[in-house]
Amino acid sequence: MKIKKEVTIYDLAKELNYSPSTISRALNNHKSISKKTVKLIKEAAEEMGYRPNNLAAGLRSNKSNTIGVLISRINRPFVSSLISGIENTARKAGYNVLISQSNDKYQSEINNSNALYDSRISGLIVSLSMETIDMGHFEKFMENGIPIVFVDRVPSNFNSYKVVIDNYTAGYSATKHLIEQGCKRIAHFAGAKHRNVYLERKKGYLDALREHGLPIEDKLVVNFKTLSFDEGTKATEKLLKMTNPPDGIFAANDTTGVSAIMCAKKLGVKVPDQLAVIGFNDDPISSIVQPSLSTVSHPASKMGAISAKRILEHSAQSYDADLSEITVLGTEIIARGSSLRTVKS
């Protein structure tokens, strides 16, 4: 296999009897070059198979036009839609997207943030790992003017762009929805409490109970480690075998919500009449399970698009932008069979 030598702006310059600077300017639509020359040069570039070298351009201009993404794992519906939104938006603006997964490990998050930094990304979009508490690894981005957008799983102790949903209200509404369906004893499947999303959903749950005069029982609040299907099944079994089992579950994600439905059915507990369930995220599985799982919408793709837009806007500005803008997106309760009772008790 012969390796061709790459065509550079020097080759174009020689070929067309222009200086490299003129070629460069023409290729970048610099206004000082006549339309005619630009056209000529671009056509020649095309014909000679010229392709710009982003490494060189990036080194020189100190901007890589690349957005770095730091998430826990890609193969989950919410995350892959988030990235999809980021990529589509970035691509339209001519930006590339560099991804990295922490697999929810703090140390990996540090390593990956360094790797992305080393590529001199124009901005970083982060959804924190489950383990992350200390934010030190993000400081060098701030110090060097690289904007960071935290999305969904955001820190409370770090000032930067944030794109989130109102988890508190969502948790409150989900719980209220169950109450309206006649539930009196509502359990909650809670996620790691140092992650804002889970903490706030839980707060919303607790407040909804309180404000509707329902008692809060510790035994009904199950703290999950990973919110996995198996964990959900075990928790549901335990709850349903109590002498006084709950009549409703608000699960912090759909995976455990679906597991609750399937476990209840297996145990002969009627959903929604004996046990109403609502999840979170609107993952594909939630509309497949029967009865279908009520849930809370989570605008993943839109959150990705907005996050990318923040980076793009920031890059377009020359002045020092205010980095602390927080975008809060709305969510909706999607009521389905798992919670819609025909007769309210």
Applying CB under 7 A, the residues found at the interface with DNA are 6, 8-10, 17-22, 24-25, 27-28, 31-34, 37, 50, 52-53, 56-57, 59-62
> CB 268 → a copy of itself: shortest distance, Å?
15
> CB 98 → a copy of itself: shortest distance, Å?
5
Say which amino acid occupies 330. Answer: G
**From DNA, a copy of itself, none, which one binds at residue 27 (CB under 5 to 8 Å depending on kind)?**
DNA
Residue 142, C-beta contacts closer than 8 angstroms, at least 6 positions apart: 148, 160, 323
**From DNA, a copy of itself, none, which one binds at residue 98 (CB under 5 to 8 Å depending on kind)?**
a copy of itself
Strand 161-165 versus strand 221-223 pairing type: unpaired
Say which amino acid occupies 333. Answer: I
**From DNA, a copy of itself, none, which one binds at residue 31 (CB under 5 to 8 Å depending on kind)?**
DNA
Residue 256: its H or E element: helix 254-266
CA dihedral 60, 110, 304, 67 (to 10 degrees): 10
Between residues 9 and 163, which has the closer beta carbon with respect to DNA? 9
- Tokens at 20, concatenated: 């490299």
> CB 323 → a copy of itself: shortest distance, Å?
7
Between residues 59 and 328, which has the closer beta carbon with respect to DNA? 59
* 297: DSSP letter: B
Residue 183, C-beta contacts closer than 8 angstroms, at least 6 positions apart: 246, 247, 248, 276
Which of 41-77 are b and which e, b meaning 16 or more Cβ less than 10 Å from the residue's Cβ?
Answer: bbebbeeeebeeeeeeebeeeeebbbbbbbbbeeebb
Between residues 55 and 216, which has the closer beta carbon with respect to a copy of itself? 55
**From a copy of itself, DNA, none, which one binds at residue 107 (CB under 5 to 8 Å depending on kind)?**
none
Where along the sequence are the contacts to a copy of itself (CB under 8 A)? 1-4, 6, 49, 51-56, 58-59, 64, 66, 73-77, 79-81, 83-84, 87-88, 91, 94, 96-101, 103, 112, 114-120, 140, 142-145, 258, 262, 284-285, 288-290, 301, 320, 323
**From DNA, a copy of itself, none, which one binds at residue 9 (CB under 5 to 8 Å depending on kind)?**
DNA
> CB 188 → a copy of itself: shortest distance, Å?
22
Residue 151, C-beta contacts closer than 8 angstroms, at least 6 positions apart: 82, 125, 126, 127, 162, 163, 164, 303, 304, 307
Token look-up 């912090």 returns 252
C-alpha span between 329 and 277 (Å, rounded):
24
> CB 47 → a copy of itself: shortest distance, Å?
13
**From a copy of itself, DNA, none, which one binds at residue 213 (CB under 5 to 8 Å depending on kind)?**
none
Between residues 1 and 343, which has the closer beta carbon with respect to a copy of itself? 1
